């Protein structure tokens, strides 16, 4: 399978940023996709990675963050 150049560049950049191989990152992304697919089970929240945001106010904003994630 051939990826469009722009997507391939993003994949390679993200793999380098994380210090993993492109193959490892591809497996992680596919596993996350199938975990969150409607027929695949659970739901992941974008806020789950908030601990890596560099912000110190996440715990005080958790209700706001979850409201945004849940769309309510």
User: So where are the chain's domains?
Assistant: 1-41, 47-72
Please give the pLDDT value at position 36.
66
**Which residues of the chain form beta strands (DSSP E)?**
none
Tokens standing for 25? Answer: 């990152």
User: Quick one: pLDDT band at residue 67, thresholds 50, 70, 90?
Assistant: confident
Per residue in 12-29, pLDDT tens?
Answer: 999 999 899 999 999 988
> How large is the average pLDDT for residues 38-46?
56
The pair phi, psi for residue 68, each rounded to 5°, is: -65, -45
Residue 50 burial by Cβ neighbours in a 10 Å radius (0-12, 13-18, 19+): middle
Q: What is the pLDDT of residue 58?
A: 67
pLDDT computed for residue 8 by the predictor: 92
Q: Which residues contact 15 (CB under 8 A, 6 or more apart)?
A: 21, 22, 24, 25
Of residues 4 and 32, which shows the higher confidence score? 4
């Amino acid at each position: 399978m051939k990826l469009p150049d722009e997507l391939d560049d993003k994949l390679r950049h993200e793999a380098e940023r994380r210090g993993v191989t492109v193959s490892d990152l591809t497996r992680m992304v596919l596993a996350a996709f199938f975990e969150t697919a409607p027929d695949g089970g659970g739901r992941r929240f974008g806020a789950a990675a908030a601990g890596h945001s560099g912000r110190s106010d996440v715990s005080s904003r958790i209700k706001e963050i979850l409201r945004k994630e849940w769309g309510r």
